[in-house]
Every structure is written in structure tokens, then in C-alpha cells.
Amino acid sequence: MSTHVGVSGPSRARIGRSAAGAARRLDWTLIGAALALCAVGSLLVWSATLPGDGSGPLEATGHVRRHLAHLAVAWALCLAVASVDYRAVRAYAHLVYGATVVALILVLTPLGAVINGSRGWIVLGGFQFQPSELAKVGLVLMMATLLGEPRDGETKPMTRDVLYALLVLALPLALVLLQPDLGTTLVLGVIFLGMLTMSGAPIVWVAGMLACGVATGVAVWWFDLLEPYQLDRLATLMDPSADPQGAGYNSAQALIAVGSGGFDGTGLFQGEQTHGRFVPEQHTDFIFTVAGEELGFVGAGAMIVLFAVVFWRILRIAQGCDQPYPRLLCVGVAAWFAFQSFINIGMGLGIMPVTGLPLPFVSYGGTAIVANLVALGLVLAVSSRDRGFE
């Protein structure tokens, strides 16, 4: 005699209605803005990686095909994360954080590879990934867990919670500094500071963290702890024309590319600066210069508006949360995206030093795209269950 245990018809109907209801509750404005940025980014990567032999745009490069494959995987992960109850994700925060720390340690072993002057990659066969990008997701999850779950009888994080959070920050921060990767170090610091500020922690800790950041910057400069190339980048920020063929080359060429676009741009796939390969790393670090040249002020401005929509919707979702944990998840992701976008766009406009940070959703990349969209999935998971916003 066999017994079959299954799901009854009414139960299946309830599950179906629940899934459909969750889909309806997703923030489709946020999804649409992120999809639009990914679509524009794919076109810009396509243009920036066209062969320099006069081939037309129909000659799709390997970069474009890989980028689209990365996006497909990343969006699948995003929607998978969005379908999970964010309260269940909380139970795995320690595992995600621990895995990223282990990966950051492996980067410093013979498994790590040096790319563009930083030992920030793990290469196994034809597969490579950048653990520091995933560390941003791990940090957001752990900070939300530590600062967003007050103990019984408490309404906000206390000193011991902040101390634990500092310890959690210190480990990936130190490992990323050893690579060295100053840009990602700054992003991790901004994520921590943004979440600490919005957690309701004692104001003395927020002020103390700001003071420590300023003091650290002064000490690094005073004791000459920066690498020569980092000093050169700061010097060219002050005067891009000081060494246009040396340290200031990237910034100078970026400004030329953006300026040549004018109001409405030269047209997609028509940028002379882009196809002449005058701007290094244009499909990653300097992707905004492609938009500036080929789409002009109108197109580049539209991209900035899309980013503003993304930040606005994430913060609106955070505002509508009744509990601190989901609110801090959203705040951490918003701080990450906003700071990194500002730095990357500022690099292209010559108002920020070159740091090697990609533009979220837009720049070519594998690990970065996955990290961005997994983080977006966390926000969408909150939006589908906390509807205290419009």
C-alpha cells in the first residue's frame, strides 16, 4: 500500500494567489529604472568595445555577449532573492558574510590574481570573480542584523551593538585595503556610516566615526601613506592639465570625450573618442564618458535621472518599513549605489579622483553586476512585503 502526500487543489490555488500577489506588490517603477539602466549600459559596452578596424555595430564583441550573459544570470538571481521573505534571508546573513571574508582571504593567496594593479580577483581556469563586490552584500546583511534587531527592552542599538558592528566592518575593510583597493574601502565605509546613522545609534558614535574618518585622511596624507599613483591621481584632480600625457591622461581624455558630445551627442556607435580608444577602461571605469560623447547632455542627463529614480524608490521603500531591519537593508543598498554612482560619474566629469569603481547596472562586469542585482533583489523582497509607501 502506498501513500501519496501532495498539495490539495485549494492549497495550490492559495500558493498561486500568494505568488501573484507578491508579484503585484513588487516595486515595478524601481525594476523598470534598473532595467533601463542595464539596457543602456549594454549599448554603451557594445559601443566601447567595438573593434577599432572600422567594423560596424553589427559586429558584436565577446564583451557584449559575456555582459548580456552576466545580466541574464544576475536578473535571475535578483528575482529569486526578491521572491524570498527577507526575514528568512536574515538567518543566512552570517553565512554570506563569512563566505565573503573567506573569499577575500583567498585573494591574498596564490589563487589571487593581480589585475590593473590590485590583487582583487580569484581566477580558476577561465572563471574569475571579485570577492570585494560580494563583500558589499555581506556587509549590508550583517549590519542590518546587528543594528536592526534591538534586544528586549531596547528601541535602538546600544554601544555594544555598535562595537560588534565595528568588528564586522574591520575584517573585510582590512582585507580589501591589503589588495589594495581604496575605492571599495570607501564604499564599505559609506555603507557602514549610512546604516549606523539611520539605525538610531547614539549620536556620539556617528560623530566619532566621522571624526575618525577625517583624522585617518589627514594622517594618511601627513605621513605620506598613499602609493605614488594615488598621489598622482589626487594631483591631477586639482589640475588635470598638469600631466596630460602621464598621470592626468585618463582624466583629460575623459573630459574631452564628454565635452565632444555637446547637447545631443554624436550618435550611438559614432563617437570618435570612444572608437579611437583614447579613454582607457572605457567599458568599465569610464563608461559614463561613452554616454557623454555619443548620447550627449540629453542622454547622459537621462541616465542620471534614472539613477535618481532608483535612489528615490529605495528610500521610499525604507521610509515605509515598520521594522528597523528591513529599513536598514534598504538604507545600506541606497548608500552603496548612490556613493558609487557619484564617484564613477564624477570621474568622467573630472570632479572626482580615479578610483576604479564601476557604475552600478551600467559598467561591464560579472561579479559587480551580480552583486548589484542581488542587492536590488533584497530591496524588492522588502517592497513586496512592507507596503507602507506609495
Residue 129 belongs to what H/E stretch? strand 127-129
Q: 225-258, pLDDT tens digit by residue? A: 555 655 555 555 555 556 555 556 777 788 888 8
Asked if the model's pLDDT at residue 97 lies above 90, the reply is yes
Burial class (CB in 10 A: 0-12, 13-18, 19+), 105: middle
Q: What is d(CA 74, CA 81) in angstroms, rounded to the nearest whole number?
A: 10
Q: Is residue 300 part of a domain?
A: yes
Q: Is residue 26 part of a domain?
A: no
Better-predicted residue by pLDDT, 92 or 151: 92
Q: Give the pLDDT band of residue 389 (cuts 50, 70, 90).
A: very low
SS3 134: helix
Q: What is d(CA 311, CA 30) in angstroms, rounded to the nearest whole number?
A: 9
What are the φ and ψ backbone dihedral angles of 114, each rounded to 5 degrees? -95, 120
Asked if the model's pLDDT at residue 121 lies above 90, the reply is no
Q: What is the predicted pLDDT for the residue at 333?
A: 97
Q: What is the predicted pLDDT for the residue at 6?
A: 44
Q: What is the predicted pLDDT for the residue at 373?
A: 97
- Cell 577561465 maps to which residue? 126
Q: What is the predicted pLDDT for the residue at 213?
A: 72
Q: What is d(CA 108, CA 114) in angstroms, rounded to the nearest whole number?
A: 10
Number of domains in the chain: 1
Alpha-carbon torsion angle 248, 50, 129, 367, nearest 10: 90
Burial class (CB in 10 A: 0-12, 13-18, 19+), 155: exposed
Q: 339-386, pLDDT tens digit by residue? A: 999 999 998 888 888 788 999 999 998 899 999 999 999 999 998 876
Q: What is the predicted pLDDT for the residue at 41?
A: 95
Q: 265-281, pLDDT tens digit by residue? A: 898 888 888 887 788 88
Longest C-alpha distance within the chain, in Å? 86
Asked if the model's pLDDT at residue 153 lies above 90, the reply is no
Better-predicted residue by pLDDT, 252 or 144: 144
**Per mean pLDDT, which range of 49-53, 198-202, 334-338 is the poorest?**
49-53
Nearby residues of 368 by Cβ (< 8 Å), 6 or more positions away = 130, 133, 358, 360
Q: What is the predicted pLDDT for the residue at 235?
A: 55
Q: Is residue 307 part of a domain?
A: yes
Q: What is the predicted pLDDT for the residue at 182?
A: 84
Burial class (CB in 10 A: 0-12, 13-18, 19+), 34: buried
Query: What does DSSP assign to residue 294?
Result: I
Q: What is d(CA 87, CA 90) in angstroms, rounded to the nearest whole number?
A: 5
Q: Is residue 29 part of a domain?
A: no
Q: Is residue 236 part of a domain?
A: yes
Do residues 378 and 140 lie in contact, with contact meaning Cβ atoms separated by under 8 Å? yes
Better-predicted residue by pLDDT, 90 or 388: 90
Q: Is residue 25 part of a domain?
A: no
Do residues 295 and 261 lie in contact, with contact meaning Cβ atoms separated by under 8 Å? yes
Q: 6-48, pLDDT tens digit by residue? A: 444 444 444 444 455 556 678 899 999 999 999 999 999 999 8
Q: 304-342, pLDDT tens digit by residue? A: 999 999 999 999 999 988 889 999 999 999 999 999 999
pTM of the model: 0.86
Q: What is the predicted pLDDT for the residue at 3?
A: 42
Better-predicted residue by pLDDT, 354 or 187: 187
Asked if the model's pLDDT at residue 187 lies above 80, the reply is yes
Grid coordinates standing for 244?
596630460
Q: Is residue 90 part of a domain?
A: yes
Q: Is residue 16 part of a domain?
A: no
Nearest 5°: CA angle at 374, between 337 and 184? 45
Q: Give the pLDDT band of residue 388 (cuts 50, 70, 90).
A: very low
Q: 170-185, pLDDT tens digit by residue? A: 999 999 988 888 889 9
Domain that holds residue 243: 35-383
Return the top range by mean pLDDT from 83-87, 133-137, 386-390. Answer: 133-137
Q: 104-114, pLDDT tens digit by residue? A: 999 998 888 88
Q: Give the pLDDT band of residue 54 (cuts 50, 70, 90).
A: low
Q: What is d(CA 175, CA 67) in angstroms, rounded to the nearest whole number?
A: 28
Q: What is d(CA 71, CA 62) in angstroms, rounded to the nearest whole number?
A: 14
Q: Position 220: which residue type?
A: V
